[in-house]
């Protein structure tokens, strides 16, 4: 075994990647990611104390969420960035410890990551490879499972906190919990019950982080509205923007305006078209392609430069690597990274200049897709929706949010959407929608049968909609609503969405295409007994089960 990672759904054999990641992650990169996590935990242990003493510094909050985000599946493939982050983290940790001592405090913890030091690449790599920083250092399978469940929830939370931060919105409570949670993963005094409690608390802060991001996005760009998005192409040179960061898109749209270069969204950037603020750009041409895992083909035929603002990045092929760029928490060895300048601005002129020298995208499909059903738009249709439920025109809603991925077994979701009775409506968010958003499933009295709220982080909208419906129908409990949850997961942002739903009291969520490899049998049992969490089987049996629920 040269590495151990089981954080995503595609983990080898449903258990763990131990030689090389199914995602393409090499063992040296995986181990460096573990080393960064080890350092982030040391920082957090120290900073929990610094916070108590009132000597927390904002740069610590940013360092922690940036670091967590970098370790999310398919976010960053650049070893040098991890080495630099580890070095910067060790320095930061020592500064925090010093600040605590100067404030008269004492840190009580035996955590090795609080004192370990190294600086050259070689020293860091030796530590990374040593196994000392591996997840497997936690020997008890259930404690390991809960520590990792918490850690992955925090990684997802960090992604949402970072997007909000980029728009100038911060929540100190979220930052405090992120660090308290990471510190808790080093505490050998905590047992299963304590960890279950912290994991559920993570869900509460997940809701806060998503609510904050919703506020940031809608304050900056307006409320998403019902929108038809072009999926064909025009005849101009163009830039493709992928990932999830709307601020980066805003900057790119402003810098490309009037240059003759069009901008297309890819994968999880599709929902940007739903925001009023972006509609004013006539060169914001449409959406190109599908979910993240098809990018090795679609980036090839796009012909122009590609800007990756966040995950999911597939290790690029040589055929388009030279026209790929990263920014923010993302990175790929050998791919140009465009960082923020000292004044906080970003300069995408190199990407624009390159676009002008390249051909227009090759068309791979044509037509339009409909979306923009975040909470404000759905609540604007509330009377229509409530009427449809009361008359029985809508029998049930199916939340089919989450992620897409390469496994063939995910065709289940296409088949499920196709076979759903015509009096049901799909509520979706995240890249899972690409399994059925081009199917033309029709509408119910003018209400489309697929209501796309937006990105994975907009899953919050689905919760707002459910809570509103509960109020309108005068129900005591969110589980009395005619809503079933058949969620597809892949990476760690889906973990925080799940924990957020559990915090809101949602029961009987089914997760697929497989249950997480990081859930031990005992932890799974807790989730099944207390929350009714389940997996999926086959479309026909599951459909029957959901319709009878």
- Count the residues of the shown chain that bind ligand SF3, applying the rule CB under 6 A: 15
491 is annotated as contributing to ligand binding: yes
Pick what 403 binds: ligand SF3, ligand SF4, none; C-beta below 5 to 8 Å, kind-dependent. ligand SF3
Q: 3-class DSSP state for residue 115?
A: coil
Helix H or strand E segment including 383: helix 382-390
Residues 6+ apart with CB under 8 A from 313: 74, 75, 76, 77, 292, 295, 326, 330, 332
Evaluate whether 184 touches 150 at the Cβ level (below 8 Å). yes
Least gap, CB of 257 to ligand SF3 (angstroms)? 27
Q: Which stretch binds ligand SF3 (CB under 6 A): 133-141, 358-366, 487-495, 529-537?
A: 487-495
Least gap, CB of 73 to ligand SF4 (angstroms)? 4
Integer CA distances (angstroms), 239 to 98, 358, 522, in order = 47, 10, 48
Evaluate whether 227 touches 370 at the Cβ level (below 8 Å). yes
Least gap, CB of 463 to ligand SF3 (angstroms)? 16
Q: Is the backbone peptide bond immediately before 312 cis, with ω within 30 degrees of 0?
A: yes
Establish if 493 lies at the interface with ligand SF3 (CB under 6 A).
Answer: yes
To 10 degrees, the CA torsion angle through 517, 522, 527, 529?
140
Pick what 175 binds: ligand SF4, ligand SF3, none; C-beta below 5 to 8 Å, kind-dependent. none
Contacts with ligand SF4, residue ranges (CB under 6 A): 5-8, 10-11, 17, 21-23, 25, 30, 73
Evaluate whether 119 touches 65 at the Cβ level (below 8 Å). no
Cα angle 298, 301, 306 (rounded to 5 degrees) comes to 70
Q: Which is closer to ligand SF3, CB of 431 or CB of 496?
A: 431
Pick what 431 binds: ligand SF3, ligand SF4, none; C-beta below 5 to 8 Å, kind-dependent. ligand SF3
The residue from 135, 351, 369, 456 that contacts ligand SF3 (CB under 6 A) is 456
Pick what 25 binds: ligand SF3, ligand SF4, none; C-beta below 5 to 8 Å, kind-dependent. ligand SF4
DSSP string for residues in 11-59: -GGGT-BSSS-TTS--HHHHHHHHHHHHHHHHHHHHHHHHHHTT---HH
Q: Which is closer to ligand SF4, CB of 8 or CB of 86?
A: 8
The residue from 491, 506, 520, 527 that contacts ligand SF3 (CB under 6 A) is 491
The residue from 82, 274, 275, 292 that contacts ligand SF3 (CB under 6 A) is 292
297: left (phi over 0), alpha (psi -120 to 50) or beta: alpha
202 is annotated as contributing to ligand binding: no
Q: Which stretch binds ligand SF3 (CB under 6 A): 33-41, 127-135, 479-487, 488-496?
A: 488-496
Pick what 272 binds: ligand SF4, ligand SF3, none; C-beta below 5 to 8 Å, kind-dependent. none
Q: Which two tokens stand for residue 394?
A: 């809508």
- Which residues sit at the interface with ligand SF3, rule CB under 6 A? 244, 267-268, 292, 311-312, 403, 430-431, 455-456, 490-491, 493-494
Q: Which residues are annotated as a binding site for [4Fe-4S] cluster?
A: 5, 8, 17, 23
């Amino acid at each position: 075994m040269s590495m151990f990672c089981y954080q995503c759904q595609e983990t080898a054999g449903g258990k763990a990647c131990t030689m090389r990641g199914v995602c393409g992650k090499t063992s040296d990169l995986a181990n460096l990611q573990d080393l960064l996590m080890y350092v982030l935990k040391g920082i957090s242990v120290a900073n929990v104390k610094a916070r108590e003493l009132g000597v927390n510094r904002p740069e610590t909050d940013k360092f922690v969420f940036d670091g967590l985000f970098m370790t999310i599946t398919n976010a960053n493939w650049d070893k040098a960035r991890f080495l630099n982050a580890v070095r910067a983290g060790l320095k930061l940790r020592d500064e925090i410890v010093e600040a605590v001592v100067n404030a008269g405090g004492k840190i009580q913890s035996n955590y090795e990551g609080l004192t370990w030091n190294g600086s050259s690449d070689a020293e860091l790599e030796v530590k990374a490879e040593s196994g000392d920083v591996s997840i497997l250092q936690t020997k008890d399978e259930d404690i390991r499972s809960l520590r990792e469940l918490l850690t992955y929830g925090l990684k997802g939370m960090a992604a949402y906190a970072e997007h909000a931060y980029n728009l100038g919105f911060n929540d100190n409570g979220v930052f405090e919990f992120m660090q308290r949670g990471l510190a808790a993963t080093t505490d050998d005094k905590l047992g299963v019950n304590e960890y279950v409690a912290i994991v559920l608390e993570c869900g509460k802060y997940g809701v806060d982080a998503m609510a904050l991001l919703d506020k940031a996005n809608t304050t900056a760009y307006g409320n998403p509205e019902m929108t038809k998005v072009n999926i064909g192409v025009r005849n101009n040179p163009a830039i493709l923007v992928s990932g999830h960061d709307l601020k980066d898109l805003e900057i790119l749209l402003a810098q490309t305006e009037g240059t003759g270069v069009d901008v297309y969204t890819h994968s999880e950037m599709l929902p940007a078209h739903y925001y009023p603020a972006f509609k004013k750009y006539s060169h914001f041409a449409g959406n190109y392609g599908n979910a993240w895992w098809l990018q090795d083909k679609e980036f090839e035929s796009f012909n122009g430069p590609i800007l990756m603002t966040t995950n999911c990045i597939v290790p690029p092929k040589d055929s388009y690597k030279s026209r790929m760029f990263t920014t923010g928490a993302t990175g790929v060895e050998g791919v140009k990274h465009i960082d923020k300048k000292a004044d906080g601005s970003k300069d995408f002129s190199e990407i624009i200049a390159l676009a002008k020298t390249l051909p227009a995208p090759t068309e791979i499909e044509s037509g339009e897709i409909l979306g923009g059903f975040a909470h404000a738009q759905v609540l604007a249709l509330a009377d229509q929706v409530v009427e449809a439920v009361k008359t029985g025109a809508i029998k049930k809603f199916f939340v089919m949010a989450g992620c897409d991925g390469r496994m063939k077994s995910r065709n289940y979701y296409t088949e499920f959407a196709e076979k759903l009775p015509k009096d049901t409506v799909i509520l979706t968010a995240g890249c899972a929608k690409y399994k059925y958003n081009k199917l033309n499933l029709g509408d119910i009295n003018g209400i489309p049968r697929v209501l796309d709220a937006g990105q994975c982080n907009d899953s919050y909208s689905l919760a707002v909609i459910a809570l509103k419906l509960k109020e309108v129908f005068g129900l005591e409990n969110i589980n009395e609503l005619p809503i079933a949850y058949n969620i597809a997961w892949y990476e760690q942002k889906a973990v925080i969405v799940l924990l957020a739903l559990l915090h809101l009291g949602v029961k009987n969520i089914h997760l697929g295409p497989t249950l997480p490899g990081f859930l031990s049998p005992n932890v799974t049992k807790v989730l099944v007994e207390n929350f009714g969490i389940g997996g999926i089987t086959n479309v026909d049996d599951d459909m029957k089960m959901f319709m009878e629920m």
